[in-house]
A and B are shown apart, each in its own frame.
Chain A
């Protein structure tokens, strides 16, 4: 039989959790393949999710590869496919193909301090690598999470964050003042500057809106981080996931295949086309 990567495997939704409500809702989906799970992936990789009749959408995997029982996706309702996903119920069937992309080079990060910097839904790709590092905490140095959103209601994984706070340093922020908020108020880059993480033996992983990433990188540079110490993810519109359909390229790189993870040193060399 010919291997046909365009054909998704069927999976059912085990559980749906509402993370954020309002006009830009986010839900987290746990899914399980109908047949045996031979889907092995690396942190930072993505999967192409199908809602049959609506189409496909590339979503980053937010669970850790250490978790074998389910694949988790945290999805912002944005267009045709993600709206359909938000309408779904546990038990409904979706298609999954992949995994796609390069993933984070976590093997090279052993023994290093990891600083995760996320904004809004950008915590999803970070979540996979953060939980992997937490699962093998002895292999890494200090772990730190700096995470923010527009309001306290826009923060994802709120319950889990409370758990994680017990294990590692977590610095949360919201953009504007709220009563009952005891942590930082301001944008994520400002929180980075405020918390002054040390560049010593450290790697930072930052995901979020492009404008946030831009200023986080600037803040990190000011703190003395080198380009090679800063990792981020890029997104572009994707269809095939395997570098053939031609639309997600940045220069000669196809983000679906050669990305989405780039060090700032690598990204700097590419044209600004994302």
Chain B
């Protein structure tokens, strides 16, 4: 079990010694059970840091903001940014390094191992508590969760309230780090693609009905895209105008930009948006599940990404997020690649 005090001490040391310019971690918010991202600059503020099963966010998303901010600064602070990562988040970092979107020197990785636990699924917890409100949740030594409600403490088996992705996690400890807290224990996961089973048993027609119903709910708030560390493009095919317009962009260039998807939240446009996103995440999505968590309409977006992860594994024996030097899935070719995927 990772000791919060150890985490605070490490963070304090890094800030005090000036090794990092700031640390991205988790702190208690005011809006509910889940924490909020913390950006800590002063060593004394490390007291705000928390580490518990509510720490669901993938904080590597904020490295994208950091990169943009740094690029706009005239004399940027060249020190790395400290970031707290779980196993899944560390794999996102590996992809960002693999794609050379960020430099290894620009980030100081504080790895925290989930050990045999993981983070919770708020909806599962709500169901388990049957209307009672959780005030606080902690890990226990045997990787269960202790939940504090208005009626006192109850211990809940981790399996019951863990996020689905944690149950299917391939490495519940950071695969890349500068400091590691906790043990590298691998939880047994018999069914790495278990959540796909029900969906895969459906016929083509049933799948169409399922996805049409789901994607018709989409209001195109783009929270799924905004929260994703891999959606770092300056311009996105989903936008009717593109962000990357500068003073030098000519009228012709602007006029010729193709509107791939209209703003209207109708079936065709929603499909274009979500399928393009899914395809662009093939071999890149590390299953942090953030897109699905933030979706206000509860669209099961993780299923799409998980399915492509499975395809990549089965067709190309490709596993994402373990090796920054590995060639990327979509830009590499091997002699033994199956030919039947392009027809």
Cβ of A226 within 8 Å of any chain B Cβ, yes or no, is: no
Q: How far is the CA of A82 from the CA of B254 in the complex (A)?
A: 10
A78 close to chain B: CB less than 8 A? yes
**How far does the alpha carbon of A79 sit from the alpha carbon of B252 in the complex, in Å?**
7
Chain B residues, Cβ within 8 Å of A83: 251-252, 254-255
Judge whether B254 and A79 touch: CB under 8 Å. Answer: yes
Chain A residues contacting B250 (CB-CB under 8 Å) are 23
- Size bin of chain B's contact surface: under 10
Q: Which of A1-48 contact B (CB under 8 A)?
A: 23
Render B136-150 as a binary contact track against A, CB cut-off 8 A, 1 for contact. 000000000000000
A238, chain B: closest CB distance, angstroms: 14
Task: Determine the chain B residues whose CB is within 8 A of the CB of A84 once the complex forms.
Answer: 255
**From residue 60 to 89 of chain A, which have CB atoms closer than 8 A to chain B?**
77-80, 82-84, 86
A-chain residues with CB within 8 Å of residue B251 when the two chains form the complex: 77-79, 82-83, 86
| Complex alpha-carbon distance, A84 and B252, angstroms | 10
Task: Give the chain B neighbours of A77 by CB distance below 8 A.
Answer: 251
User: Within the complex, what minimum Cβ distance (angstroms) separates B251 from chain A?
Assistant: 4
CB-CB contacts of B28-65 with A at 8 A, as 1s and 0s? 00000000000000000000000000000000000000
What A residues does B252 contact at CB under 8 A?
83
Residue among A77, A79, A86 with the most chain B CB within 10 A? A79
**A82: which B residues are within 8 A, CB to CB?**
251
A83 to B250, CA, bound (A): 10
Please indicate the chain B residues that have their CB under 8 angstroms from the CB of A86 in the complex.
251
CB-CB under 8 A from B257, the residues of chain A are 80
A83 to B251, CA, bound (A): 6
The residue of chain A having its C-beta at the shortest distance from the C-beta of B249 within the complex is: A79
Q: How many angstroms from the CA of A86 to the CA of B251 in the assembled complex? A: 11
Set of chain A residues within 8 Å of B255, measured between Cβ atoms? 79-80, 83-84
Query: In whole angstroms, what is the CA distance A78 to B241 when docked?
Result: 13
- Give the complex CA separation of A136 and B252 in angstroms: 41
B281 to chain A, nearest CB (A): 29
Q: Shortest CB–CB separation between residue A84 and chain B, in angstroms?
A: 7
Give the complex CA separation of A84 and B251 in angstroms: 10
Q: What CA separation (Å) do A182 and B208 show in the bound complex? A: 73
Nearest-CB residue, chain A, relative to B245: A79
- Minimal beta-carbon separation of B246 from chain A (angstroms): 13
Interface string of B213-242 (1 = CB under 8 A from A): 000000000000000000000000000000
A23–B255 alpha-carbon span in the complex (Å): 14
B250, B254, B255 pick with most chain A CB within 10 angstroms: B255
List which B230-277 residues lie within 8 A (CB) of chain A. 250-252, 254-255, 257
The chain B residue with its CB closest to the CB of A84 is B255
Question: What is the bound-complex CA distance between A93 and B7, given in angstroms?
Answer: 68
B263 to chain A, nearest CB (A): 12
A78 contact set on B, CB distance < 8 A = 251, 254
Instruction: Please report the C-alpha to C-alpha distance between residue A23 and residue B212 in the assembled complex, in whole angstroms.
Output: 46
Q: Which B residue sits closest to A82, measured CB to CB?
A: B251
A53 to B233, CA, bound (A): 28
Please, how many angstroms separate the alpha-carbon atoms of A86 and B254 in the complex? 14
What's the minimum C-beta distance from B256 to chain A, rounded to whole angstroms? Answer: 8
Q: In the assembled complex, how far is the CB of residue B255 from the closest CB belonging to chain A, in whole angstroms?
A: 4
Shortest Cβ distance from residue A95 to the other chain B in the assembled complex, whole angstroms: 18
- Cα A273 to Cα B285 with chains together (Å): 38
Contacts of A80-121 to chain B: CB distance below 8 A? 80, 82-84, 86
CA distance A77 to B250 in the complex (A): 9
Closest to A80 in B: B255
| A224–B257 CA distance with the chains assembled, in angstroms | 48
**In the bound complex, what is the Cα–Cα distance between A83 and B257 (angstroms)?**
12
Q: How far is the CB of A72 from chain B (nearest CB, A)?
A: 21
In the complex, chain B residues whose CB is within 8 Å of the CB of A79: 251, 254-255
Q: 1/0 contact trace for A141-154 toward B, CB 8 Å?
A: 00000000000000
Q: List 16 A-B contacts (CB under 8 A).
A: A23-B250, A77-B251, A78-B251, A78-B254, A79-B251, A79-B254, A79-B255, A80-B254, A80-B255, A82-B251, A83-B251, A83-B252, A83-B254, A83-B255, A84-B255, A86-B251
Q: Other than A77-B251, A78-B254, give 13 A-B pairs with Cβ distance below 8 A.
A: A23-B250, A78-B251, A79-B251, A79-B254, A79-B255, A80-B254, A80-B255, A80-B257, A82-B251, A83-B252, A83-B254, A83-B255, A86-B251
User: What are the 6 closest A-B residue pairs judged by CB atoms, nearest first?
Assistant: A83-B255, A77-B251, A79-B254, A80-B255, A83-B251, A78-B251
B-binding residues in A (CB < 8 A): 23, 77-80, 82-84, 86
